């Protein structure tokens, strides 16, 4: 995708729906990084999955400036952005309005 409207910066994104019990290792991130080498060469990468990442995958991604989003982080982002979720209950907390009881009569 293009980071800006004029297309100066590109971001590679890979999204994979895997079983949440699967652990993605360093080799999968290395393949993704290889694709970023182009052409065209892309400086930024985002790898999204419903699974989880190994320690080696995380360390390699950090060194290559690749952002990893695992299933847990993806769920948090979906809730935060209201994407693919719906409100089930809303709680109201009320407080006394002291202006209502003022002696301005």
Instruction: Render pLDDT for 18-30 as a digit per residue (tens, 0 to 9).
Output: 999 999 999 999 9
Domains of the chain: total: 1
Q: What average pLDDT score do residues 31-43 get?
A: 91
Task: Give residue 40's pLDDT band: very low, low, confident or very high (50, 70, 90).
Answer: confident
Read off the pLDDT of residues 52-96 as tens digits, 9 standing for 90 and up: 999 999 999 999 999 999 999 999 999 999 999 998 899 999 999
Contact assessment for residue 62 and residue 84, using Cβ atoms and an 8 Å cutoff: no
CB-based burial label for 45 (10 Å; 0-12, 13-18, 19+) = buried
The pLDDT, as a whole number, for residue 104 is: 59
The answer, yes or no, to whether residue 14 has pLDDT greater than 70, is yes
CA distance 100 to 55: 58
Q: Is residue 58 part of a domain?
A: yes
Give the global pTM: 0.78
Does residue 47 lie within any of the structural domains? no
pLDDT-derived band at 105 (thresholds 50, 70, 90) equals low
Query: Is residue 26 included in any domain, yes or no?
Result: yes
Residue 35 domain flag: yes
Which structural domain, as residue segments, surrounds residue 22? Answer: 11-42+54-66
């Amino acid at each position: 995708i293009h980071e800006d409207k004029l297309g100066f910066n590109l971001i590679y994104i890979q999204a994979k729906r895997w079983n949440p019990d699967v652990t993605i290792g360093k080799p999968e991130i290395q393949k993704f990084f290889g694709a970023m080498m182009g052409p065209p060469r892309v400086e930024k990468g985002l790898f999204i999955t419903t699974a989880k990442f190994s320690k080696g995958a995380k360390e390699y991604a950090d060194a290559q400036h690749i952002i990893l989003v695992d299933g847990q982080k993806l769920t948090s982002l979906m809730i935060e952005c209201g994407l693919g979720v719906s409100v089930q209950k809303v709680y109201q907390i009320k407080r006394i309005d002291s202006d209502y009881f003022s002696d301005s009569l």
